[in-house]
Each structure stands twice: as structure tokens, then as C-alpha cells.
Structure 1
Amino acid sequence: MISIPTELLPYLGHNLWHLFAVFLRVSALVSLLPAFGERSIPTRVKLAVAIAFTLIVVPAIPAVEVSPGLPNMAGSICIEPLIGLTLGIGLRLFVLALQTAGSIAAQATSLSQILGGAAAEPVPAMGYLLTLAGLALAVLLGLHIRAAQFMIHSYTLFPMGTLPAAPDLSQWGVNQVARSFGLAFALAMPFVIASLIYNLALGVINRAMPQLMVAFVGAPAITFAGLFLLFAGTPLILSTWSDALFTFLQNPLGGLR
């Protein structure tokens, strides 16, 4: 039987507590992290990813002295997941921005009912394709490396065991939601402009030739225009989205740009 020297027990307990506190924040963040926290990812895989990120983050975080009392430990157990969930929600809003952009584009081009239930979350085909392509691009561009740096940097912004101020946190959350929908509308802008031009042209033609069934003529045109814009504009859309995502990872308090 292996015996542990008595003088090592406080040191060992302190390090285990530090590891557990980091795991609380990291696991909460990983549960909402784009690509790694999707619904289609099994829970065991998410747990393994959280443990892997924890082992990466722990050596870079200085240990904080925590009083052995129950109130202090209970406070840290509540605060650390809250910070992780807050930062994870900020990242999850980028996935929501892609889904919203796809929904706006699909509604504008009359393609909102195609493959609507193909994803875990019911979104139109354009939203599903943009989300899947965006997540794949983010992983290829090193999302796991940026995420590890983001987790380490989070301890500079929110020290361990320190509860963020409620007014600042609520204001930050409102700004992130507003900017997320602004980003979604900006990404879907080409489809909205094409829909506006289509409807104006359809109105002029219908005014000039009331007897012509312009809807039967215009429906294939707007469908083709929507698919062409999706083919031609997806690289620019995903590039803009990935730049905004990595900008947020570098400076989460700066918001979406």
C-alpha cells in the first residue's frame, strides 16, 4: 500500500481543488462551444473535450488561495460555471447568427421549407448549410487553439472566484444579442436586396400586364437567384463570420464587429 507523506496532503488537496475549479468553468464553456458543443456531439465526447481543455488551461492559470470553509468553496462552485456559461453563450450567439442569416435568406428567396428538419434544430436548408460550413471552417482555421487561448485569457478578464457585476454583465449580454442579429442581417443582405429587386420587378410587370401570371414566371427566377447567391456569396459570408468569431475570441468584451 502506498503511503502519502503528511506534509504533501495540503499541497495535493490545493492542486486538486484548483483543477476542479478550472474544470467547472471549462466544462460549462465547452458545453456551448461552437463545433464541440453541438447537440449532435455525444455527452461522453463533450466530457473528454472538457477534460482535455482543462489539462491545457490548468498549467497556465496561477493557483488562487481559497479558504477551506464551505461558504467560500460553495461560492466558487456557483461562480465558475456561471462565468463559463456566460462566455459560452457569447460564442453560441455566432452560431445563432449563421442560422438566423440562413433563415432570412431562405424566407427572402422562397426556399424556407426545403430540408427544414434536417438539423437538430429546425432551420431552413440555407441555415443548415451555412452553419455546417461555418463550423467546419472554424475548426480548420484552428478553433481549438483559439478556444484554449480564450479560456486562459478569461481568467484575466474574470479572476477565479470573482463574480462579475450584474449591471455590466446584463449590458454586455444585451449588446451581444443585438450585435449578433445585426451580424445575421448583414450576412443575409445580398438575399434581401435580391428579393427586394425581384418583388419590385414583379410589381412593375404585373402593373403593365395584369393578364400575365407573373408568379409562375417569377418563382423559378427567384429560386435560381437564391441558389446562385448562395453559391457565389457563401465564401464571403463565411469569411466575414469567421473574422467576427475570432475577433470575439481575442477580445470578448469588445463584442461583434
Structure 2
Amino acid sequence: MNDLQALVDVSQPFAFAAFLAFLRVGAFAALLPAFGEQTLPMRVRLAVALALTTLVLPAVVDQLPAQPDSLAATGHIVVIEVAAGLVFGLGVRLLVWALEFAGALASQSVGVAQLFGSGMTAEPSSAFSQVFVLTGFALACAMGLPLHAVAMMIGSYSIIPSGSFPTPDLLAATLLPGFQNSFGLAVRLAGPFFIAGLLYNLTLGFVNRAMPQMMVTFVGAPALTGAGLILLLVASPVLLGIWVRALIAAFATPFGPSL
């Protein structure tokens, strides 16, 4: 028993450091694209969080504080670490929402917004959103998403040190522009479909003026949907390449002009 007690005394500081690292990394992993989706089983998401913690911990163990004597101080550090992980996770998650919003805008522009279904995300989304999200996640994983996530978590301790709550100035200077840039990115990704919808409406107006008796809507709607599918096939590689570059930039400079 004395030997076990000595082992506990030696391992207790490291165990508390691992616990703090898991809090930040686990909160970040809950919002991580592809690996933090609500459609994945809880065991898989927990395994991802533990795996990322195992990779991050050796690099940051010297930056983690010792266990406080009081329970209130321990709870304070716990809340701070979870908040820090959520801040970094939200900065990345905004790009996923941009991809979903771009798919919704594109679907509405080419007349297929009524086709909804369930995909990687928890909420039902349009068909184009599902294609964008699934393909974007696949490209992100192929580009080394876990490695970028580990590097971001290691660098997060130099931006928000352990035990230091994110300041309101930092949150205002990062998250608010992040929402703005996310919306701008979604509009840019859906731009080709906006143009296709505009050309369709202009053509429909000219045909309707030339042939008022013709039911141009019933004739043009299938053409618009077909053109939208062809445009999706042609433009998706370029659009998703833009999104993946923005995602990698967000991992590299979480609080910088990544978009």
C-alpha cells in the first residue's frame, strides 16, 4: 500500500494535467469538422477526443498549472479550459456553417431547395448542402485535418494560456469578424449558382414577353435544375478547394484574417 500511495503521489500531478488538456481538447473536438458531428456515435467522438489529447499533452504538459488546493479554484480552471476549447472550436465550426449555408443558397437559386435529407450534420439540409459538406469533410481529412487540429491545440496555449479566461476584447476581435467572414465565404461559394439563377430569370422574362401564351415556368424549371446539376459537377472542385484552403488557414491562424 505504501508503494501504491507513492505511485499515486507521483502520478497525480500528471493526471491533473492530462485532465486539463482533455477538457480543452474535448471541447474543441466537439465542434471539430467531420469528427465532432452529432451523427457520429458518442464512443467515436470520445475516442477522437482522447486520441487528440494523447498527442497534444506531451507538448503542453509544462504549460499546465498544478492542481489547486481548493475545490473552487479547481472548478474555475475547469470552466476556463472548456471555454477556451469552445472558442477555438467555434472559430473552425463557422466554416462548416458557411458550407451548409452556401449549399442552401445554391439549392434555392437553381430550384432544388425543397429536396431535404439527413447527412453528416444533425439537422436536415438541402441536397447541395449535403454534397458540399460530405465532400468538404472528405477533402479536409485528406489534407490532414487531425494534424492541423493537433497543431492548433498546441498553439492555443500560447494564445490563451491555461488558467487565463479569454478576454472580451479577444472574443470581440475574433468571433464577430469570423461570423462576417463566414457569411461572405458562403455567398462567394454560392456565386455561380446565383448567376445561373439570374440568367434563368432573365431568359424566362424575355421568352414570356415574346410568347405570353407559353407556360414558360413548366418548360424552364427542368432546364434550370439540369443546369444546376451540371454546374454543381463542374464548379464543386473549385469551390471546395477554396473552402479547404480557408479551413487550413483558420487552423493555422485561428485569430487572423483566414478568409
TM-score, scaled to structure 1: 0.94
RMSD (Å), alpha carbons:
1.6
Which SS does the other structure have where 2:3 is aligned? coil
Code of the residue aligned with 1:42 in structure 2: it is P
CA offsets 1:210-250 (integer angstroms, 9 cap, x no match): 12211122112111110011000010011000000000000
CA offsets 1:155-201 (integer angstroms, 9 cap, x no match): 11111111111232134211111111110110000000110111011
Match of 1:132 in 2: 134
Which whole-Å CA distance do the structure 1 matches of 2:40 and 2:56 have between them? 22
Q: What stretches of structure 1 of length at least 5 have no aligned partner?
A: none
Identify the range of structure 1 (211-220 vs 166-175) with the bigger mean alpha-carbon deviation: 166-175
For 1:1-257, list aligned pairs within 5 A. Answer: 3-4=3-4, 6=6, 10-61=9-60, 62-66=62-66, 67-114=68-115, 116-119=116-119, 120-257=122-259
Residues 64, 37 of structure 1: CA spacing in aligned structure 2 closer, same or farther, 3 A cutoff? closer
Q: What stretches of structure 2 of length at least 5 have no aligned partner?
A: none
Code of the residue aligned with 1:104 in structure 2: it is L
What is the identity percentage for the equivalent residue pairs of Structure 1 and Structure 2?
43
Which SS does the other structure have where 2:213 is aligned? coil
Identify the range of structure 1 (187-196 vs 120-129) with the bigger mean alpha-carbon deviation: 120-129
Instruction: Tell me, yes or no, if the aligned pair for 2:152 and 2:252 is still in contact at 8 Å.
Output: yes
Which whole-Å CA distance do the structure 2 matches of 1:63 and 1:251 have between them? 20
CA offsets 1:31-79 (integer angstroms, 9 cap, x no match): 1100100112111111111111111111001243333233321111000
Which whole-Å CA distance do the structure 2 matches of 1:60 and 1:68 have between them? 25
Which whole-Å CA distance do the structure 2 matches of 1:63 and 1:253 have between them? 20
Which whole-Å CA distance do the structure 1 matches of 2:227 and 2:181 have between them? 28
TM-score, scaled to structure 2: 0.93
Instruction: Tell me, yes or no, if the aligned pair for 1:146 and 1:246 is still in contact at 8 Å.
Output: yes
